Amino acid sequence: MRVLVTGGSGFIGTNLVKLLIEAGEEVLNVDWNPPLDPGQRPTWRELDIMDEEAVAKAFDAFRPTHVVHLAARTDTDEQRDLNAYAQNHEGTRRLLTAVKACPTVERIIVTSTQFVCEAGHQPKDDLDFKPFTLYGESKRLTEMVTREARLPCTWTIIRPTTIWGPWSLRYRDVMFKVMRKGLYFHPSRSKVIRSYGYVGNVVWQIDRILRLPAERMNGRVFYVGDPPFDLRTWVEAVSKALTGRSVRYIPTWAVRTLAVTGDVLKGVGLPFPITSGRFRSMTSDYITPMDRTIEALGPAPFSVEEGVKAMVAWYDDGSERIAHPVRKVVGHG
């Protein structure tokens, strides 16, 4: 395979590029940020997917057989202007124009998000959307752009869940630092079911989609990640790996109060480990349908414990030397 990855410098992209290189595939990462992993610089070409001419030239030069489209603005900060997420849907439209013009492309994976449906909404079919943020709406539009493109190649849409693992700067800079210092508290001992995904399993799933028979993958939508589980399972595993101790629990009302404080501090540009958004994530069920993914792709290879071990090893092995990208959009995840 000759695989062109957009947004390959980001969290999921870095892990995917590593997997593909180790499998002996030819890889080109097009991203406007340099790779998180300096060792992947030979595969990188600086490019903005909104630049149609530059994208077309990259396709003409590399002649990919497979494309994995990860590039996106992935935060949920913007609450008023959908155009702030134009790179997601409009960028995808421009990318697909290049795909249609490149006769070597056999298949493409387009990345959406679980947030095309709000928590508690179980979609009846692939077109049953209920986004609750502008980011989610931009990804709904991304899916529709893909469907309307009439691509001549095999196409598949993936919806990542909450992804974690090596090269995640968000977990490195917030949860892990706080937990290692003994300052992490979890709200109550109530059972909260979440859809999380170890990045090693997610890139394995992407690789499977690239390799399985085209007729089984064409026009399909798959959530990628792990089967939903009790959030405490993951939090306890991380805490024991980082500190050797179980998590400390405090009443939910106390965490809610801290979250409000975090909102105020965030508003004036000061970092704080918990905000109202993070509080909702810790206390609300968010279950995505993974059965179809497992049926089509098979069970993913890594357990929670194996993933946590790999992530902590990365965290302790010089992860602090990785600087934040200069630009805001860093690839999916």
Q: What pLDDT does 327 receive? A: 52
Return the number of other C-beta atoms located less than 10 Å from residue 70's C-beta: 26
Smallest CA-to-CA distance from 312 within 163, 161, 179, 160 is with 179
So what's the pLDDT on residue 331? 47
Report the pLDDT value the prediction gives residue 268, as an integer from 0 to 100.
82
Q: Are 131 and 85 in contact (CB under 8 A)?
A: no
pLDDT reported for residue 267: 81
Query: Which residues 6+ apart lie within 8 Å of 187 measured at CB?
Result: 249, 250, 251, 252, 254, 255, 256, 279, 282, 283
Half-sphere exposure of 322 (CA within 13 A, CB side): 25
> In a structure prediction context, what are the per-residue pLDDT tens digits for the chain, which is 333 residues long?
999 999 999 999 999 999 999 999 999 999 999 999 999 999 999 999 999 999 999 999 999 999 999 999 998 888 899 999 999 999 999 999 999 999 999 999 999 999 999 988 989 999 999 999 999 999 999 999 999 999 999 999 999 999 999 999 988 888 888 899 888 888 877 889 999 999 999 999 999 999 999 999 999 999 999 999 999 999 999 999 999 999 989 888 887 888 888 888 878 877 776 777 777 777 788 889 999 999 999 999 999 999 999 999 999 997 877 866 645 444 444
Helix (H, G, I), strand (E, B) or coil at 249: strand
- State the burial class of residue 41 (Cβ atoms within 10 Å of its Cβ: 0-12, 13-18, 19+): exposed
Q: Which of left, alpha, beta for 302 (phi over 0: left; psi -120 to 50: alpha)?
A: beta
Can you give the pLDDT at residue 329?
46
Q: What is the CATH code of the structural domain delimited by 2-167+197-225+289-301?
A: 3.40.50.720
Report the SS3 class of residue 250. strand
Which letter, b or e, does each residue of 44-56 get, where b requires 16 or more Cβ atoms within 10 Å of its Cβ? beebbbeeeebbb
Query: Which residues fall within 8 angstroms of residue 151, CB to CB, at 6 or more apart?
Result: 96, 99, 100, 108
164 CB neighbour count, 10 Å cutoff: 24
Distance CA 21, CA 5 (A): 12
Task: Please enumerate in sequence order all residues whose Cβ is within 8 A of that of 208, keeping only pairs 6 or more positions apart, or say none.
Answer: 297, 298
Cα separation of 187 and 2, whole Å? 47
Q: Is 204 helix (H, G, I), strand (E, B) or coil?
A: helix
